[in-house]
């Protein structure tokens, strides 16, 4: 493939949204299904989700949480108990109203139609989120302060009717985890909210090589019914923001609506303080947009379905068996090595396909390390190693034993390179802004990046600015330490109201 030509067309610079779709197609991650707005996650894509799930699940359990499962169907009356929460999801809900289908033959056409019958006395909502039905369970399970804290997580699917679907980023049905906890005091619940917020920040950085800005959502952007919503905001390569995970302190709003109460230490009846927190398959969309290039997917090693792929080069039939045996032996040796506490995931591609075809398939799938071994390599005991974080034509030829010793370190280097590149890109595309004139001019540009401004506006003023420029306040950063170096952190003057303020907001366009 010539230097001018790329495996993915259009390129990121030509048409970023279409490039994203083509990366997914080329990597064979997912496809649109016959059900509008829903997707089929194919094995290579689902393998990434399984690794995300396994690694996050260990982190959740290390912080004392247990997994459970709750019904997909939620009685409509449960949502009605918490008006603000229900209103926040009302336009996204899918509702089940009947419990039976009857076959009716159309006499004119001869075709059989399936007609819903048996109307339900109370409709069910397919869960858009589970605060209400999990809250009902908590009300049954909690009697005393001795039952607290109650720390539960659920891995499940949810449905939010999506009018403009995009694979992984916005689909009507998607996979996620939702943590739900109940606590004796406000302080304990807020501590939980912040703890899980930090878990998400750590996971994105240390597992997905994605740097995020952790912060708090404004009142306009909070989760419906929450008192505090914390977020981790990622920047992708078209400089837009993706809300990669959220953690909510719900106060006593849900516990009062659902009667989650307990006998306190003084014998009085008290309502629990609750939290919820979640991430979804949107993480995969974020990963694609953060790291991939014009030749396809680029996977951070910890969530790569296969970390190393070995390609036997067999130009002659009489050496084929020996080459494949050498590849299999190397793979078996590598599988006894570990990276971040897990055995290396190694695959030998023995399919009867041309070497170039197989090479480009694995490039497009984003495998961190590719190895080629041919008859001559067996003689020299050297192998051809190519890394996905380096230009496609780059190669090195280490002695096989040296590579075996270095394999885990090389995967660590790939992770760090991806993280550093993403961090430098993000930091160079966050701009400080101190005036409304500069603020307005910024958003007239194409793909302008984020702005960091002093802010003391009202929710109504925030909404007006957001609508005017099709932007939102992504977050109020939780501390100066999470910001790129060089951004101002001292109190300033609000760009809109002119009032002095110590608050600075991060604005951006988003998915």
Q: Are residues 196 and 71 in the same domain?
A: yes
Q: Are residues 152 and 274 in the same domain?
A: yes
Predicted local confidence at residue 85, as pLDDT: 74
Residue 346 sits in a domain whose CATH number is 3.40.50.800
**Cβ atoms of residues 126 and 96 within 8 Å:** yes
E strand or H helix that includes residue 176 = strand 173-183
Angle formed at CA 232 by CA 136 and CA 297, multiple of 5 degrees: 110
Predicted local confidence at residue 502, as pLDDT: 97
| Residue 418 located in a structural domain | no
Q: Which of 410, 169, 123 is nearest to 285 (CA)?
A: 169
Report in angstroms the alpha-carbon separations of 421 from 195, 205, 263, 291, 425: 27, 12, 53, 9, 6
Q: Give CA 349 to chain center in angstroms.
A: 29
Q: Are residues 35 and 161 in the same domain?
A: yes
| Residue 114 located in a structural domain | no
Question: Is 498 buried (19+), middle (13-18) or exposed (0-12) by CB count in 10 A?
Answer: exposed
Give dist(CA 459, CA 506) in Å, integer: 15
Q: Are residues 386 and 438 in the same domain?
A: no
Q: For 429-494, where are the alpha helices, taking DSSP H only?
A: 436-442, 459-469
Q: Per residue in 275-312, pLDDT tens?
A: 999 999 999 999 999 999 999 999 999 999 999 999 99
| Residue 10 located in a structural domain | no
Give dist(CA 356, CA 46) in Å, integer: 26
Q: Are residues 44 and 193 in the same domain?
A: yes
Q: Are residues 223 and 323 in the same domain?
A: no
Q: Which of 237, 20, 272 is nearest to 131 (CA)?
A: 272
Q: Are residues 436 and 496 in the same domain?
A: yes
What is the token pair recorded at 454?
């002093």
Predicted local confidence at residue 1, as pLDDT: 37
- 241, β-bridge pairs: 235, 510
In 80-149, DSSP assigns E strands to 94-105, 112-126
Predicted local confidence at residue 113, as pLDDT: 92
Q: Are residues 281 and 322 in the same domain?
A: no
Residue 455 sits in a domain whose CATH number is 3.30.110.30
Cβ neighbours of 356 (radius 10 Å) = 9
Residue 157 sits in a domain whose CATH number is 3.30.930.10
In 407-485, DSSP assigns E strands to 430-432, 450-454, 472-477
Q: Are residues 487 and 344 in the same domain?
A: no
Compute the half-sphere exposure of residue 115: CA atoms within 13 Å on the CB side of its CA. Answer: 9
Q: Are residues 319 and 441 in the same domain?
A: no
Predicted local confidence at residue 4, as pLDDT: 65
Question: Is 378 buried (19+), middle (13-18) or exposed (0-12) by CB count in 10 A?
Answer: middle
E strand or H helix that includes residue 89 = helix 83-89
250's CB contacts (< 8 A; 6+ apart) are 131, 189, 225, 226, 227, 273, 274, 275, 276
Per-residue pLDDT of the chain (511 residues; tens, 9 = 90+): 344 689 999 999 999 999 999 999 999 999 999 999 999 999 999 999 999 999 999 999 999 999 999 999 999 999 888 777 767 788 899 999 999 999 998 888 889 999 999 999 999 999 999 999 999 999 999 999 999 999 999 999 999 998 789 999 999 999 999 999 999 999 999 999 999 999 999 999 999 999 999 999 999 999 999 999 999 999 999 999 999 999 999 999 999 999 999 999 999 999 999 999 999 999 999 999 999 999 999 999 999 999 999 999 998 898 999 999 999 999 999 999 999 999 999 999 999 998 899 999 999 999 999 999 999 999 999 999 999 999 999 999 999 999 999 999 999 999 999 999 999 999 999 999 999 999 999 999 999 999 999 999 999 999 999 999 999 999 999 999 999 999 999 999 999 999 999 999 999 999 9
**Cβ atoms of residues 155 and 130 within 8 Å:** no
**Cβ atoms of residues 283 and 186 within 8 Å:** no
What is the token pair recorded at 383?
């192998």
| Residue 425 located in a structural domain | no
For the chain, how are helix, strand and coil distributed in percent, rounded to 5?
Answer: 35, 30, 35
Q: Are residues 92 and 206 in the same domain?
A: yes
What is the token pair recorded at 474?
């992504």
Direct distance between the N- and C-terminal alpha carbons of the chain, in angstroms, rounded to an integer: 33
Give dist(CA 227, CA 429) in Å, integer: 31
Output phi, psi for 379, to 5 deg.
-70, -45
- Token pair 């090479």 is found at 359
| Residue 130 located in a structural domain | yes
Report in angstroms the alpha-carbon separations of 471 from 161, 240, 510: 22, 10, 7
Q: Give CA 427 to chain center in angstroms.
A: 20
Predicted local confidence at residue 39, as pLDDT: 97
| Residue 111 located in a structural domain | no
Q: Which of 491, 507, 486 is nearest to 438 (CA)?
A: 507
| Residue 402 located in a structural domain | yes
Decide the pairing of beta strands 212-216 and 173-183.
Answer: unpaired
| Residue 4 located in a structural domain | no
Q: Per residue in 49-89, pLDDT tens?
A: 999 999 999 999 999 999 999 999 999 999 888 777 767 78
Q: What average pLDDT does the structure give for the chain?
A: 96
**Cβ atoms of residues 183 and 272 within 8 Å:** yes
In 314-458, DSSP assigns E strands to 338-339, 342-343, 346-348, 369-373, 384-387, 430-432, 450-454
**Cβ atoms of residues 141 and 56 within 8 Å:** no
Predicted local confidence at residue 2, as pLDDT: 41
Give dist(CA 12, CA 462) in Å, integer: 31
Give dist(CA 70, CA 54) in Å, integer: 20
Instruction: For residue 283, give its domain range.
Output: 16-96+124-291
Domain termination site, one of 222, 257, 291: 291
Can you give the pTM of this predicted structure?
0.95
Q: Are residues 393 and 260 in the same domain?
A: no
Predicted local confidence at residue 264, as pLDDT: 98
- The count of structural domains within the chain is 3
Give dist(CA 146, CA 143) in Å, integer: 8
């Amino acid at each position: 493939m010539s230097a001018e030509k790329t495996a993915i067309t259009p390129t990121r610079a030509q048409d970023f949204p279409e490039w994203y779709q083509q990366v997914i197609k080329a990597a064979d991650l997912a496809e649109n299904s016959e059900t509008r707005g829903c997707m089929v996650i194919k094995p290579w894509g689902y393998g990434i989700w399984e690794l995300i799930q396994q690694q996050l699940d260990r982190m959740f359990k290390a912080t004392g949480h247990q997994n459970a499962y709750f019904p997909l169907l939620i009685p409509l009356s449960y949502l009605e108990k918490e008006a603000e929460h229900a209103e926040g999801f009302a336009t996204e809900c899918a509702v089940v109203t009947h419990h039976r289908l009857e076959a009716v033959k159309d006499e004119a056409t001869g075709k059989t139609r399936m007609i819903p019958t048996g109307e339900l006395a109370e409709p069910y909502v397919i869960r858009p989120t589970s605060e209400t039905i999990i809250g009902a369970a908590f009300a049954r399970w909690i009697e005393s302060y001795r039952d607290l804290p109650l720390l539960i997580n659920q891995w499940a699917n949810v449905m939010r009717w999506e009018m403009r679907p995009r694979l992984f980023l916005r689909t009507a049905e998607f996979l996620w985890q939702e943590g739900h906890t109940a606590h004796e005091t406000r302080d304990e619940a807020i501590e939980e909210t912040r703890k899980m917020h930090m878990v998400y920040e750590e996971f994105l950085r240390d597992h997905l090589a994605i740097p995020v800005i952790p912060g708090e959502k404004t009142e306009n952007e909070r989760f419906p019914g929450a008192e505090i919503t914390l977020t981790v905001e990622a920047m992708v390569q078209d400089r837009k923001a993706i809300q990669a995970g959220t953690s909510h302190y719900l106060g006593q709003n849900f516990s009062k609506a659902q009667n989650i109460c307990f006998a306190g230490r003084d014998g009085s009846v008290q309502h629990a303080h609750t939290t919820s927190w979640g991430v979804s398959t949107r993480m995969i969309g974020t990963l694609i947009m953060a790291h991939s290039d014009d030749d396809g997917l680029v996977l951070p090693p910890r969530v790569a379905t296969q970390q190393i792929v070995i390609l036997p080069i067999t130009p002659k039939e009489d050496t084929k068996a020996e080459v494949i045996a050498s590849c299999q032996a190397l793979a078996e040796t590598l599988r006894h090595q570990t990276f971040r506490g897990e055995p290396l995931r190694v695959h030998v591609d023995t399919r009867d396909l041309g070497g170039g075809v197989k090479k480009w398939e694995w490039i497009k799938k984003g495998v961190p390390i590719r190895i080629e071994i041919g008859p001559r390599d067996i003689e020299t005991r050297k192998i051809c190693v190519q890394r996905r974080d380096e230009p496609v034509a780059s190669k090195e030829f280490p002695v096989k034993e040296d590579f075996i010793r270095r394999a885990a370190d090389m995967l660590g280097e790939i992770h760090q390179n991806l993280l550093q590149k993403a961090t430098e890109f993000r930091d160079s595309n966050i701009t400080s802004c101190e005036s409304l004139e500069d603020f307005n001019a910024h958003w007239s540009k194409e793909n302008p990046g984020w702005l960091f401004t002093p802010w003391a506006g009202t929710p109504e003023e925030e909404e007006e600015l957001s609508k005017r420029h099709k932007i939102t306040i992504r977050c109020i950063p939780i501390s100066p330490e999470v910001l790129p170096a060089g951004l101002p952190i001292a109190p300033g003057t609000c760009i809109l109201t002119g009032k002095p303020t110590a608050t600075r907001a991060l604005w951006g366009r988003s998915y």
